[in-house]
Chain A
Amino acid sequence: MLTRRPFWLIAASLAPALAWAQAGDAVRGKQLYESRCIACHSIDANRVGPAHQGVVGRKAGSVADYDYSPAVKASSIVWTTVTLDHWLEDPEKTIPGQKMGYSVPEAQDRADLIAWLAKNPGP
């Protein structure tokens, strides 16, 4: 049975995510991207990893012409700031059987990277 939740409770539950989303520094995120992610990823080209342009808001495993693992291909995850944060913190826990062995343990680094990715919307 559905219960009506008070507005303050909904707002409180969203507050951490909103505060986190505001904490990302896209300028630093770009620097991190170019030092840590560039070996496998580009914003606008599929390489060892898929292109990242428009990743925020995109369904996992949906970039054309990229050879995803079956696990990512079958995933129903949509990449949001929250799901990307989980993914970067622990890809294997987020989608078991995926193929990215790299993770980003520091929360601030993840926030900055995601802020940079969000600056690159899809065409």
Chain B
Amino acid sequence: MTETPSQLIVPARRAFLTGTSKIALSASAILLLAGKDTLAQSMGGPMAADVGILNVALGLEYEAINAYQLGAQSGLLQKPVLDIAVKFQGDHKGHRDALVATIQKMGGKPVDEKKLDDYAKALKADTLKSQADVLDLAARLEMGATNAYLGVIPSFKDAQLAKIAGRLAADETMHWTILNNALGRPLPAEALPFGA
């Protein structure tokens, strides 16, 4: 595992983050949590709705993977920030794999990933001129993802899927916190800054 750079993370957080990385989601863990082995193969209304939400989440994860790819290959990220970006991209790949496996287990069809150029255009990658620009984009996407996952929790018909959305939101929050720190920005002034 890549050592967490001290420049990015204050020491008090290091132990916590090290522990967090050890519970990264895997496809098998997701399926175990969701109990999808027992779900019906025939997908009805509520399950179709859940699959629809999961597919939107999958689209979001594809975009995150490609956003970090664009950042990593931009030449703008210096070590150790580059290592962190690659680590976070790996987390999003884990989320992708878990979502694809769950959607398939539920009898749904995962949405397709677009081409890197499509994401570059949509995210205006050509406007990124510095490491701070890349980090700012990543931080905005991570905050948005946190709020998106928290926001869809009430919509899930299956409580286990809601729990998974909560776990995904926790990962995104961890990413946002590190990026926010790397940008030298303060922590939110008030409690409960996410998901309102």
Q: Which residues of A contact B (CB under 8 A)?
A: 34-40, 42, 45-49, 69, 92, 99-103
Q: Which residues of B contact A (CB under 8 A)?
A: 49, 52-53, 55-56, 59-60, 63, 121-124, 140-141, 143-145, 147-148, 151-152, 154-156
Q: Assess the B152–A102 pair: CB atoms within 8 A.
A: yes
Most buried by B among A37, A48, A101: A101
Closest chain A CB from B53 CB (angstroms):
4
Q: Assess the A102–B60 pair: CB atoms within 8 A.
A: no
**Given known contacts A36-B151, A39-B148, A102-B152, A48 and B143 CB-to-CB distance under 8 angstroms:** no
Task: Sort A-B residue pairs by CB-CB distance and give the 5 closest, nearest first.
Answer: A39-B144, A101-B53, A38-B144, A101-B155, A101-B152
**Given known contacts A36-B147, A47-B63, A42 and B122 CB-to-CB distance under 8 angstroms:** yes
Q: Assess the A103–B147 pair: CB atoms within 8 A.
A: no
- List of B residues within 8 angstroms of A35 by Cβ: 143-144, 147
**Given known contacts A92-B49, A103-B151, A103-B155, A39 and B145 CB-to-CB distance under 8 angstroms:** yes
Partner of A36, one of B123, B144, B156: B144
Known contacts A34-B144, A36-B148, A37-B144, then 6 further A-B pairs from the complex at CB < 8 Å, ordered by chain A residue: A39-B141, A39-B147, A48-B60, A92-B49, A101-B52, A102-B155
- List of A residues within 8 angstroms of B122 by Cβ: 42, 45-47
- In Å, the complex CA distance between A40 and B53 comes to 12
- List of A residues within 8 angstroms of B152 by Cβ: 101-102
**Given known contacts A40-B148, A45-B121, A101 and B143 CB-to-CB distance under 8 angstroms:** no
- In Å, the complex CA distance between A38 and B143 comes to 8
Most buried by B among A36, A39, A100: A39
- In Å, the complex CA distance between A35 and B151 comes to 12
**Given known contacts A48-B60, A100-B56, A38 and B140 CB-to-CB distance under 8 angstroms:** yes
- In Å, the complex CA distance between A40 and B152 comes to 13
- In Å, the complex CA distance between A103 and B143 comes to 17
- List of B residues within 8 angstroms of A45 by Cβ: 121-124
